[in-house]
Amino acid sequence: MQIHHRGYVSGDPRIHEAAGHGIDRPADIPDAMDVLIVGTGPAAAVVAAQLSRFPSINVRAIEKRPGRLEVGQADGIQARSVETFQAFGFADEIIQEAYRNVEMCFWKPDPENPNNIVRASRTPDDATGISEFPHIYVNQSRVLDYFLRDAERAPGKVTPDYGVEFVGMEIDRDADYPVSATIRYTAGPRKGEERVVRAKYLVGGDGARSTVRHALGHKLHGDASLHAWGVMDVMVNTDFPDFQVKCSIQSHDQGNILLIPREGGYLSRVYVDLGEVGEHDEGKIRSTPVEAMIETANRILHPYSLDVKQVTWWSVYEVAHRITDGFDDVPAELAGTQTPHAFIMGDACHTHSAKAGQGMNVSMQDGFNLGWKLAAVLEGRAPESLLSTYAEERRVVAQDLIDFDKE
């Protein structure tokens, strides 16, 4: 039931009537739009949800996958991010389905027998009074589902255009729509077809191997070497006593494990340290079989063992502490003197390990920072110069993230 100027109107108050560009929203991507979002990851989903609340803004979000993300990827949600969820109205819902973390155990080599591990400490996971909301774990796909549901419920009715990838772009600052982006259909009857669309602003949230970052001519700088991690969601039998608690496990010479119980109570996520990547590896480490990851995990856990009964998802990825040399299309020497029209967010800007549990959280805050600024500028409530503050502010945060992850 909703309070309305005509009295009471039945219906879900979270679902808004279509307005502006949300009315008769075309099924295909138009030739011109206000904002083109590349990707549907955490940062991109936040921007889509924010901008969909402003139906005067024409927004499209493209994703090269043929459909929504279903399993895997990030899962740690800090309390500050849950506060952000509350701003969109779904904090309580996601808390109900998440694993709520309250403590963490640290394991290290046994001083008496370094080939074994022993518990070093057990500590509260969150500082007392840090937030009214908890630290939780939930599959990234569910986080995206909530943001994209919010975007679809908002007046702008923004929904992702799946099966479409970004190829490249050109920028003409004097044009009404400065960004000319080439896109390619990757699924459906138009698969392989390319076309050029125009946008006032382009937002790249397309991951660590960002095509948008490459198109802008930016590179990631930092560690020269890569470190490989295997990650798997597993159902196991084990004699390890803290398997249902978040654990950081350090062995003497076999590597490290980060262990996180999954929502639902049956699965656990195991991050397995696979060591430094050779200079000429050329991505071969990504072909590491899950059986090898399980063997490594058992060596790290000695004298305990994992008897893996089922693997529901697994992957291998390479990480290094790196930050992009640019967050938008304005050259560093001209920052503050030109209006940016293309931006990158999230893993496209900063890469690091999973051990700090901050990646998805910082990415969402990248998107939150940029989304409201785009809305304010496009609706005429703020000058275009506001958009220059995105790079200035988020570069500092990215460096703080890298420094924290190195500790």
Query: What tens digit of pLDDT does each residue of 259-295 get?
Result: 999 888 889 999 999 988 877 777 788 889 999 999 9
pLDDT tops 90 at residue 390: yes
pLDDT value of residue 48: 98
How many angstroms separate the CA atoms of 281 and 269, rounded?
26
- The most confident of 29-38, 255-264, 334-343, by mean pLDDT: 29-38
Beta strands in 138-295 (DSSP E): 160-162, 164-171, 179-185, 194-204, 220-222, 227-238, 246-250, 256-261, 268-276
Q: Which residues contact 185 (CB under 8 A, 6 or more apart)?
A: 163, 164, 191, 192, 193, 194
Phi–psi pair at 47, nearest 5 degrees: -65, -45
Residue 1 pLDDT exceeds 60 = no
Where in the chain are the domains? 2-72+140-222+322-406, 99-137+225-319
Q: What is the pLDDT of residue 357?
A: 65
The CA distance from 29 to 202, in Å, is: 14
64-68, 105-109, 388-392: the lowest-pLDDT one:
64-68
Q: Is the pLDDT of residue 314 over 80?
A: yes
Chain segment 195-224, per-residue pLDDT in tens = 999 999 999 999 989 999 999 999 988 876
pLDDT of residue 3: 60
pLDDT score, position 405: 74
74 against 184, higher pLDDT: 184
> Would you tell me which CATH number, out of the four given (3.40.630.30, 3.90.600.10, 2.40.30.10, 3.50.50.60), belongs to the domain 2-72+140-222+322-406?
3.50.50.60
Mean pLDDT of 306-310: 96
pLDDT for the residue 250: 95
The highest-level CATH class for domain 99-137+225-319 is: alpha beta
Q: Interhelix angle for 359-378 vs 79-88, to 10°? A: 40
Q: Kindly report the three-state secondary structure assignment for every residue of 37-79.
A: EECCCHHHHHHHHHHCCCCCCCEEEEECCCCCCCCCCCCEECH
Q: How far is CA 39 from the centre of its chain?
A: 10
